[in-house]
């Protein structure tokens, strides 16, 4: 059973929260934040989609992505000084020891002190990078709890197919295709801020907030990759193979991603969208979606839209 019905309306992702780090990380993250203070402002303003002139990551919606962003800043704390030091040394050597200024070069070939420094220094730096890197890798492979929801995502040339695992065998199965401009009006998705061109889809994947979701990723024809930047998730979709990943979104909202493995002529036109909703809304959606996916999506979006308008009025 393949359902393909439209939905309409929508809302923006709310402001983010920032999760737990240990003391070492906190200290280092302050260093990182101080070193790259300029990148903090655009990230705070970001929704769950790319922004024009964006320089950094999209704002994190999961703990894993928060840690990825932290790790990127942390590595820059080492990277930037090293680049400047090496650049400075090269400039110094070029100027100070040029042939005209230094006609008789030194014939020194050993210096124990400097040799120890340039051996031990990089080892220490690599260790400082390796430890948090492995911590991050471990976190990415360790869901905080047993997954409560399992969804299979199948990559096709050139769209995504989804199947929810259900207890009673009543399927929720649908395809997710790029929202074409000519369908916007009919689907009530004219708002380009919420439904950006080339990212918006006809049927969003709906999951509850604060819930560990397991995604089984595969493909039916060629290699694809299921990726959502705000979740820090990117998993290859390989024909004949079932890859597993997970995410746990901290906030409700609409999150966009794209196929991230070159898969043919319409690779750029197979986006994916995940709609994170409250637990109650998700329960209601699943009940409805078994009968009529289009109706389920319309009801869900109307509810979200009403809540957004109410919040606007209250401001």
**Contacts by residues 236-239 (CB-CB < 8 Å, ≥ 24 positions apart):** 236/261, 237/153, 237/154, 237/155, 237/261
Nearest-approach distance from CB 155 to Cu ion, in angstroms: 5
Q: Decide whether 71 or 159 has the Cβ nearer to Cu ion.
A: 159
> Tokens at residue 101, please?
């200024």
- Decide if residue 201 touches Cu ion (CB under 5 A): no
- Decide if residue 259 touches Cu ion (CB under 5 A): yes
Q: Decide whether 224 or 275 has the Cβ nearer to Cu ion.
A: 224
| Pair 139, 67: CB distance under 8 Å | yes
Which residues are CB-contacts of 11 (< 8 A; sequence separation ≥ 6)?
Answer: 194, 253, 254, 304, 305, 307, 308
Q: Decide whether 63 or 202 has the Cβ nearer to Cu ion.
A: 202
Query: Applying CB under 5 A, what is the total number of residues that bind Cu ion?
Result: 4
Q: Considering only the stretches 133-141, 245-253, 265-273, 281-289, report the one whose residues sit in contact with Cu ion under the rule CB under 5 A.
A: 265-273
Q: How far apart are CA 6 and CA 203, in angstroms?
A: 6
- Decide if residue 61 touches Cu ion (CB under 5 A): no
Q: How far apart are CA 49 and CA 51, in angstroms?
A: 7
- Decide if residue 154 touches Cu ion (CB under 5 A): no
Q: Considering only the stretches 178-186, 193-201, 254-262, 289-297, report the one whose residues sit in contact with Cu ion under the rule CB under 5 A.
A: 254-262
Q: Decide whether 189 or 224 has the Cβ nearer to Cu ion.
A: 224
Q: Considering only the stretches 41-49, 77-85, 187-195, 261-269, report the one whose residues sit in contact with Cu ion under the rule CB under 5 A.
A: 261-269
- Decide if residue 263 touches Cu ion (CB under 5 A): yes
Site for Cu ion, residues 208 to 247, rule: CB under 5 A: 224
Nearest-approach distance from CB 153 to Cu ion, in angstroms: 11
Of residues 293, 43, 270, the one with CA closest to residue 171: 293
Site for Cu ion, residues 4 to 33, rule: CB under 5 A: none
CA dihedral for 308, 232, 219, 144, sign (positive or negative): negative
Q: How far apart are CA 282 and CA 205, in angstroms?
A: 11
Q: Decide whether 226 or 246 has the Cβ nearer to Cu ion.
A: 226
Q: Decide whether 29 or 154 has the Cβ nearer to Cu ion.
A: 154
Q: Considering only the stretches 116-124, 178-186, 251-259, 300-308, report the one whose residues sit in contact with Cu ion under the rule CB under 5 A.
A: 251-259
Site for Cu ion, residues 106 to 125, rule: CB under 5 A: none
Buried (b) or exposed (e) across 208-243, using 16+ Cβ within 10 A? Answer: bbebbbbbbbbbeebebbbbbbbbbbebbbbeeeeb
| Pair 246, 214: CB distance under 8 Å | yes
| Pair 290, 172: CB distance under 8 Å | yes
Q: Decide whether 181 or 266 has the Cβ nearer to Cu ion.
A: 266
Find the helix or strand (DSSP H, E) in which 130 lies: helix 112-140
Q: Decide whether 69 or 263 has the Cβ nearer to Cu ion.
A: 263
Q: How far apart are CA 224 and CA 259, in angstroms?
A: 6
Q: Considering only the stretches 33-41, 83-91, 244-252, 266-274, report the one whose residues sit in contact with Cu ion under the rule CB under 5 A.
A: 266-274
- Give contact residues for Cu ion (rule: CB under 5 A): 224, 259, 263, 270
């Amino acid at each position: 059973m393949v359902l393909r019905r439209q939905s309409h309306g929508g809302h923006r992702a709310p402001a983010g929260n920032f999760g737990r780090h240990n003391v070492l990380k906190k200290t280092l993250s302050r260093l990182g934040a101080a070193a790259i203070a300029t990148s903090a402002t655009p990230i705070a303003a970001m929704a769950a989609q790319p922004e024009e002139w964006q320089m950094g990551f999209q704002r994190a919606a999961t703990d894993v992505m928060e840690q990825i962003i932290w790790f990127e800043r942390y590595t820059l704390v080492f990277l930037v000084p090293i680049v400047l030091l090496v650049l400075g040394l090269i400039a110094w050597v070029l100027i100070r020891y040029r042939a005209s200024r230094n006609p008789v070069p030194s014939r020194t070939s050993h210096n124990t002190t400097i040799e120890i420094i340039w051996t031990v220094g990089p080892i220490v730096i690599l260790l400082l990078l390796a430890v948090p890197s492995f911590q991050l890798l471990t976190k990415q492979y360790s869901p905080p709890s047993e997954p409560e929801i399992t969804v299979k995502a199948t990559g096709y040339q050139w769209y995504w197919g989804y199947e929810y695992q259900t207890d009673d065998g009543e399927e929720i199965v649908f395809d997710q295709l790029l929202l074409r401009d000519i369908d916007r009006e009919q689907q009530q998705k004219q708002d380009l801020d919420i439904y950006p061109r080339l990212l918006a889809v006809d049927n969003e994947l709906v999951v509850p907030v604060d819930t560990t979701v397991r995604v089984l990723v595969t493909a039916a024809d060629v290699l694809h990759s299921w990726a959502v930047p705000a979740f820090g998730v990117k998993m290859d979709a390989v024909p004949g193979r079932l890859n597993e990943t997970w995410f746990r979104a901290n906030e409700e909202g609409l999150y966009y991603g794209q196929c991230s493995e070159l898969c043919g002529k319409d690779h750029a036109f197979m986006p994916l969208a995940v709609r994170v909703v409250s637990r109650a809304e998700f329960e209601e959606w699943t009940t409805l979606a078994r009968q009529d996916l289009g109706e389920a999506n319309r009801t869900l979006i109307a509810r979200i839209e009403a809540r957004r308008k109410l919040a606007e009025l209250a401001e």
